[in-house]
Amino acid sequence: MKGDDGSAAARRAGVLARHLAHEMSPLSFLRPSPCLAYQPPEFHCDNSSFDKSIMRELLDGHHVDLRDSFTDLLMSSDLFTSKRVGDRVFASPNFNLTMAEQRDKTLERILFLRSEGVFKGWLSDSSVDDALKRAALFETMGIFDHSLVIKLGVHIHLWGGSIQYLGTKRHHDKWLDRTEDYQVRGCFAMSELGHGSNVRGIETVTTYDTSTEEFIIDTPCESAQKYWIGGAAQHATHTIVFSQLLIDGKNEGVHAFVCQLRDQYGRVMPGIRIADCGHKIGLNGVDNGRIWFDKVRIPRENLLNAVADVTPGGKYKSAIKDPDQRFGAFMTPLTSGRVTIAVSAIYQSKVGLTTAIRYTLTRRAFSLVPGQPEVLLLDYPSHRHRLLPLLAKTYAMSFAAVDLKYLYLNRTHADSKVIHVLSSGLKAVFSWHNLRTLQECREACGGQGLKTDNRVGQLKAEYDVQLTFEGDNNVLMQQVSKALLADYVSAKRRGKPLKGMGLEHINGSAPVVPEELNRSALRDSKFQLALFQLRERGLLELLTSQVTTLVLKGVSMTDAVISGYQVAEDLGQAFSERSVLESFLKVEQQTTGSMKDILGLLRSLYVLSSADETPVFLRYGYLTPKQSQLIHTEVDSLCGELRPQALNLVDAFGIPQAFLGPIAFDWVEYNSWSNVQ
């Protein structure tokens, strides 16, 4: 196999060398060329050096067969299939529909899934395996359409999850079965026109009337209107309202209430005003709305009271005395959202990379030697450098996403902090990675990347929202670094070693990068982990020093941390990427033989391309210019070594072929006159 790889690489290198070395004759442009004939990407890659089915199990992490059977269910309905060309069926939303039509389609698809019993047990079955099954179905739906999974996710995870985690038996008995059966259509009214990430600052106010035992919800000013509420504009019947709770003039902080928005005929309830958020750059299958509450009265029992309650006589009570901890408890539903976003971002990266790599293994450009075939796009070193590091990062992040999911689903109270910090960091890093990947894939596909049929360009617009919903990424990175800083300072003050969140490496001496690096050292997993740990440690110490210096000068701790935002964001990235690498190493340790070999190449490309692209390593002296140049050169070598397996690596993602764009297959046939309608 190694000999075959070498000869294939030599052939490709020879083609490129002749193209680059030969000076084109002006007359070559005048010679007729035979028409292009499509050749499948399999013609231009080696046989797989690893078991793709096992690799997919590692990447998906669970319930591969369930994902495939669910895909079959989707493909059985014309609600999901969009076009047939020959024997091939394509399944994607029609983004050329009007906003109203897209919303109607999303609702029809949800009703179809309900009729097939898909939602049965989603809120009543509570085992970890049940939760993993739901995750597998959500992830498969998300590959098909973001609007579908967001509208359904708001209903199940945010509305339903709030009932589950913030409510008690009276709420569970009343709402959960009706939510599963989609009789009640829920939404989640937290964000306001004037407050998004800063939930503590929301301005909606709720008071209590002891004479009627009712809460009164009010929108006191225009900036308090609920904004971007998914499902509110047309279809939601009920919502969870997050509001400041005032009891006897004292603000007890943000609490959650159940409020009906529409009656059984779809008419908006008295005292409630709803407006449409209008057309968006993506997600137009979700009916985002704005809500005003004009002193709306709801029963006392509609307070979700797992965290705090109000007696019939108007006494406020809570077992959680600390207001900060109480607020944190009310934010529980958002953690599941960040986990879900992190996972879904990686699946969209897989869609983009599968499409782009398949296309660049069939599309050619430029022949500088008359009579010789044009060069495949992926045989250009520049094209490989654009796509293959992103492929390696997507593998790494996929493994970390599975770990995050299992951590969340098996959580205990002691895990709360690490889950919050890790989900915040990975949500930010993964969603940024997704948008970068989709942009690079769009460009790598040239003009074909612009067609909505081919999905890659449209996915950018559909997933751009991930950068700011469930927490603005930049704000999340600040939260990550603040948590790390607090732990570090606390440990130093107590003279105790750091424990938790993978920071134990800081208790020992700092790693030392060898002055002279060679290929063997650069690809060594111990060196790679030490390099990421060195960066994380250095940035944490630097942030601590900056903040301490400012505090000693009389600057408040809050202002001192804010002033260090650049180092803080770099630290958040360092923490997240080190966590990702540790997940990768854990998977790699489970493998042997050729599987371990290919994972080793991917891991090395993940680490070295990250180091190559991140200015921090040079800025703060974690690498010398000479070492950085060696890493830069090694990245190019790794891209060349992975090129023969590129198709097999994206095949192992297991993206259903129907969910890919036409350019992933015979794009000549797809665009032929016979298929013009």
Residues in the chain, total: 677
For position 434, which CATH number holds? Answer: 1.20.140.10
Kindly tell me if the per-residue pLDDT of 244 is higher than 50.
Answer: yes
The answer to whether residue 634 is domain-embedded is yes
**666 located within any domain:** no
Q: Check whether residue 334 and residue 317 sit in a common domain.
A: no
Domain count for the chain, please give it: 2
Q: Please report the pLDDT score of residue 381 as a whole number.
A: 95
Residues making up the annotated binding site are: 230
Which one, of 362, 578, 338, 324, lies nearest residue 476 by Cα? 338
Does residue 84 lie within any of the structural domains? Answer: no
Arithmetic mean of pLDDT over the chain: 93
**How is residue 237 annotated by DSSP?**
S
350, 302: one domain: no
In the predicted model, what is the mean pLDDT of residues 53-73? 98
Q: Are 371 and 319 part of one and the same domain? A: no
Residues 439 and 553 both lie in one domain: yes
Residue 27 banded pLDDT, cuts 50, 70, 90: very low
299: domain range?
Answer: 186-323
Torsion of CA 394, 399, 401, 402, to 10 degrees: 150
pLDDT above 90 coverage of the chain, percent: 85
pLDDT at position 451, please?
A: 94
Q: Phi/psi class of residue 248: alpha, beta or left (left: φ > 0; alpha: ψ in -120 to 50)?
A: left
My answer on whether 263 and 337 are in the same domain is: no
Q: Considering the domain boundaries, does residue 502 fall inside one?
A: no
Task: Say which residue, 29 or 420, is predicted with more confidence.
Answer: 420
335/360 same-domain check:
yes
pLDDT higher than threshold 90 for residue 651: yes
End-of-domain residue from the set 282, 299, 323: 323
End-to-end CA distance of the chain: 46
* 322-326, 407-411, 449-453, range with the lowest pLDDT: 322-326
| pTM, entire model | 0.93
Q: Which of 279, 295, 323 is the last residue of a domain?
A: 323
CATH of residue 242's domain is 2.40.110.10
Q: Name the binding residues for FAD.
A: 230
Based on the fold, state whether residues 357 and 486 are members of the same structural domain: yes
What is the structure's pLDDT at 537?
97
Beta bridge mates, 89: 84
Claim to verify: residue 566 and residue 639 sit in the same structural domain: yes
Which of 34-38, 308-312, 387-391, 412-416 shows the lowest mean pLDDT across its residues? 34-38
Residue 144 within a domain: no
Arithmetic mean of pLDDT, 288-294: 98
User: How many other CB atoms are there within 10 angstroms of residue 43's CB atom?
Assistant: 11
Residue 54, domain member (yes or no): no
* Residue 101 belongs to a domain: no
347 and 403 both lie in a single domain: yes
Q: What are phi and psi of 309, to 5 degrees?
A: -145, 165
Domain co-membership, 449 together with 350: yes
| Side chain identity at residue 189, one-letter code | A
pLDDT in the model for residue 33: 55
What pLDDT, on a 0 to 100 scale, did the predictor assign at position 12? 53
> Do residues 282 and 465 make contact, with C-beta atoms less than 8 angstroms apart?
yes
In a shared domain, residues 219 and 203: yes
556 and 460 fall within a common domain:
yes
For the stretch 618-629, pLDDT in tens is: 999 999 999 999
Please identify every residue annotated as catalytic: 470
Does residue 445 sit in helix, strand or coil?
coil
Domain assignment of residue 180, yes or no: no
Domain boundary among 323, 356, 387: 323
